[in-house]
């Protein structure tokens, strides 16, 4: 009987772990899904925008500790907003200087943004040093809630889940319920026509790219609670992120969510039964195999050519 309760507790925690891995994956992939899905642009520097968000949080944590220690418990909310703004603004600049000149050449965007990611990594290294840093986290984000004696739910995990839910919800509202979202979707479907009906498609592109980068910034801020912050931290995530988006079917936000869920659960469950390395190989291989059989991804709308 005791064995059963314990088993239940582990199962519950493992389920939560799957959920939080899912949220981490989704957070990373959301920004990319917007940019890739809506604009067809491959942003290889996506990971670096994430890193920018993480360093923003780190800097803000230092500033709060120094100037307003009493606000330390709350700075994290501010950090998320500032990370969004800074990463977004940077994205806006990059779109203006680079991406806007490379539409219709998706493979070239991929290569140019790879160059950008090298430059950004070195810039971060020059500014913050090569060493990994750690943002001072508020007390309420650390530790866990003990539901029962055996079940501990990590607070940072809960926080990640909450932010992911809010962000995803917000994005859905923005894209499917706002006028701006309508413009984005219209531009994606038919650029020429959208321009003809008076949509400033260049502006829409720029804002979409900035939004995607901003979301990456938020992801970066949240990741300071679970991982490390270093100049190359973002590049660790990039391939998983791309796979998530492609696996989901590039044009579909819903697909991205489904694929993040599938990948996260596979990873989380297989990790429980085998070594982490093998679990990773198994998960990635499964994704590739399915992609080989169904290259359009999980969710792809049939469009009449």
Partner 1 sequence: MHSTSRGITRRWALGAVALSLLTASVMAPRAWADDANTTGLAVTPSEVTVGQLHSATGTMAISETGSIQAERLAIEQINAQGGVLGRQIKIIQEDGASDWPTFAEKARKLLVNDKVATVFGCWTSASRKAVLPVFEQQNGLLYYPTFYEGLEQSKNVIYTGQEATQQILASLDWIAKTKGAKSFYLIGSDYIWPRTSMKIARKHIENVLHGEVVGEDYYPLGNTQFGSLINKVKLKKPDVVFAAVVGGSNVAFYKQLKAAGVTSAKQTLLTLSVTEDELLGIGGENMAGFYASMKYFQSLDNPNNQAFVAAFKAKYGPNAVIGDVTQAAYLGPWLWKAAVEKAGSFDVDKVVAASPGIELKTAPEGYVKIHENHHLWSKTRIGEVQPDGQFKVVYESDLIEPNPFPKGYQ
Partner 2 sequence: MNAKAVGFEMNKPVLAVEGLTVSFDGFKAVDNLNLYLDRNEVRVVIGPNGAGKTTVLDLICGKTRATAGSIRFKDQELTRLPEYKIVRAGVGRKFQNPSIYENLSVFENLEMSYPGGRKVLGALLFKRSAAVVQRVEQVAEEIFLAQWLHTEAGLLSHGQKQWLEIGMLLMQDPELLMLDEPVAGMSVNERAQTAELLGRISQNRSVLVIEHDMEFVKSIAHKVTVLHQGKVLAEGSMEAVQSNPKVIEVYLGH
Partner 3 sequence: MMTVLDKYLGGRQGTLGLLVLALLVLVVFPLVLDAFRLNMVGKYLTYAFVAVGLVLCWGYGGILSLGQGVFFGLGGYCMAMFLKLEASDPLSTKIQTTPGIPDFMDWNQITELPAMWQPFHSFGFTVAAVVGVPVVLAWVIGLALFKRRVGDVYFSIVTQAIALILTVLIVGQQGLTGGVNGITDLKTLLGWDIRTDQAKYLLYFANAGLLLGCIVLGKFILASKLGRLLLAMRDKEERVRFSGYDVSSFKVFVFCLAAAFSAIGGAMFTLQVGFMSPSFVGIVPSIEMVIFAAVGGRLSLLGAVYGTLLVNFGKTYFSESFPELWLYLMGGLFIVVVMYLPNGLAGVWAKHGPRLWAWRRARAAKAAALEVQP
101 binds, among partner 1, partner 3, partner 2, none (CB under 5 to 8 A by kind): partner 3
Contact pattern from residue 146 through residue 185 relative to partner 1, giving x for each residue in contact according to CB under 8 A and a dash for the rest: x-----x-xxxx----------------------------
Which of 228, 220, 204 lies closest to 86, judged by CA? Answer: 220
Under the binding rule (CB under 8 A), the answer on residue 138 touching partner 1 is: no
20 binds, among partner 2, partner 3, partner 1, none (CB under 5 to 8 A by kind): partner 1
Segment interacting with partner 1, rule: CB under 8 A, options 79-87, 104-112, 201-209, 272-280: 272-280
Distance of CA 257 to the CA centre of its chain: 11
Q: How far is CA 247 from CA 22, 26, 210, 232, in A?
A: 14, 12, 23, 25
- Footprint (CB under 8 A) of partner 1, residues 240-269: 267-269
Under the binding rule (CB under 8 A), the answer on residue 295 touching partner 2 is: no
Under the binding rule (CB under 8 A), the answer on residue 197 touching partner 2 is: no
Return the beta strands (E) in 89-148 as ranges: 144-146
Under the binding rule (CB under 8 A), the answer on residue 115 touching partner 1 is: no
CB of 296: closest distance to partner 1 in angstroms?
28
Cα dihedral value 21, 250, 46, 215, nearest 10: -70
List the one residue from 66, 104, 131, 302 that touches partner 1 (CB under 8 A). Answer: 131
Under the binding rule (CB under 8 A), the answer on residue 42 touching partner 3 is: yes
Which of 222, 216, 300 lies closest to 43, judged by CA? Answer: 216
Listing DSSP states for 32-99 in one string gives: HIIIIIIH----TTHHHHHHHHHHHHHHHHHHHHHH-GGGGGGHHHHHHHHHHHHHHHHHHHHHHHTG
Q: Quote the CA–CA distance of 131 and 128 in Å, as a whole number.
A: 8
Segment interacting with partner 2, rule: CB under 8 A, options 63-71, 215-223, 255-263, 297-305: 297-305
115 binds, among partner 3, partner 1, partner 2, none (CB under 5 to 8 A by kind): partner 3
By CB under 8 A, name the binding residues for partner 2: 301-305
């Amino acid at each position: 009987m005791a064995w059963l309760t314990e088993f239940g507790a582990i199962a519950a925690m493992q389920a939560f772990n799957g959920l939080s891995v899912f949220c981490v994956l989704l957070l990373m992939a959301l920004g990319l899904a917007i940019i890739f899905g809506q604009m067809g642009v491959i942003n290889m520097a996506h990971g670096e925008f994430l890193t920018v968000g993480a360093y923003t949080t780190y800097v803000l944590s230092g500033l709060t500790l120094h100037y307003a220690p009493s606000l330390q418990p709350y700075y994290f909310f501010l950090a998320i907003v500032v990370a969004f703004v800074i990463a977004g603004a940077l994205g806006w600049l990059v779109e203006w200087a680079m991406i806007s000149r490379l539409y219709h050449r998706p493979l070239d965007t991929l290569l140019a943004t790879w160059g950008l990611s090298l430059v950004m990594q070195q810039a971060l290294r020059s500014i913050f040093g090569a060493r990994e840093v750690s943002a001072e986290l508020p007390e309420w984000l650390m530790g866990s809630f003990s539901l029962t004696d055996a079940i501990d739910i990590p607070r940072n995990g809960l926080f990640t889940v909450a932010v992911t839910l809010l962000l995803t919800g917000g994005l859905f509202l923005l894209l499917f319920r706002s006028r701006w979202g309508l413009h984005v979707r219209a531009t994606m479907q038919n650029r020429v026509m959208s321009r003809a009906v008076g949509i400033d498609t260049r502006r829409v592109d720029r804002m979409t790219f900035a939004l995607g980068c901003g979301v990456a910034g938020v992801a970066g801020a949240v990741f300071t609670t679970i991982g490390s912050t270093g100049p190359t931290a973002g590049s660790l995530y990039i391939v998983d992120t791309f796979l998530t988006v492609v696996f989901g079917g590039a044009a579909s936000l819903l697909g991205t969510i489904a694929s993040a869920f599938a990948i996260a659960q596979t990873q989380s469950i297989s990790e429980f039964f085998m070594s982490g390395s093998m679990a990773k190989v198994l998960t990635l291989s499964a994704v590739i195999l399915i992609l080989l059989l169904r290259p359009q991804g999980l969710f792809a709308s049939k469009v009449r050519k």
